[in-house]
């Protein structure tokens, strides 16, 4: 039998949650195993795991690979976005919608706007 390094030692998701950066919950790590995380470019990256009986295990190496794969997928997306922005600027064409950053939601809600409008009407009426 070959000698295992520390990073190949199986650990439970509970143990992995205590070690992972940001201290995600055990349920979060389970979601990473089952559904993965959607990278900015749309691809799904999953945490590699192993089920033995009713327990789920991963390794420190798999946890590290998961983070690296997600970062690489995001880097590819941002590089593509930057390239598209440069090409659009050179051609003076708008950036394709799927490559744009999402717009921030307006801060003022409809209720707030209605309130401001009512206050304006009252002020005009002298009330």
- Please state, in angstroms and rounded to a whole number, the distance separating the CA atoms of residues 8 and 14: 16
- Please state, in angstroms and rounded to a whole number, the distance separating the CA atoms of residues 26 and 17: 5
pLDDT digits (tens, 9 = 90+) for 72-86: 988 888 877 667 666
Which of these ranges, 13-22, 30-39, 93-102, 115-124, has the smallest mean pLDDT?
A: 93-102
Across the strands, what pairs with 11? 58
Radius of gyration of the chain (CA): 24
Largest CA distance in the chain: 89
3-class secondary-structure state, position 86: helix
- Please state, in angstroms and rounded to a whole number, the distance separating the CA atoms of residues 79 and 73: 10
pLDDT digits (tens, 9 = 90+) for 86-117: 665 666 666 666 666 666 655 556 677 778 88
* DSSP labels, 20-80: STT---HHHHHHHHHT-EE-TTS-EE----EEETTEEEEEHHHHHHHHHHHHHHHHHHHHH
């Amino acid at each position: 039998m070959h000698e295992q390094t520390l990073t190949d030692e199986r650990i439970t998701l509970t143990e992995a949650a205590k070690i992972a950066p940001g201290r995600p919950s055990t349920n979060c790590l389970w979601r990473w195993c089952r559904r993965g995380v959607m990278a900015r470019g749309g691809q799904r990256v999953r945490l590699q795991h192993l089920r033995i009986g009713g327990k789920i295990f991963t390794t420190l190496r798999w946890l590290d690979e998961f983070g690296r794969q997600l970062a690489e997928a995001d880097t590819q997306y941002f590089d593509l976005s930057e390239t598209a922005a440069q090409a659009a600027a050179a051609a003076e064409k708008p950036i394709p919608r799927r490559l744009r950053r999402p717009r921030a939601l307006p801060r003022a809600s409809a209720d707030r706007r209605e309130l401001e409008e009512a206050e304006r009407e009252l002020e005009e009426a002298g009330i």
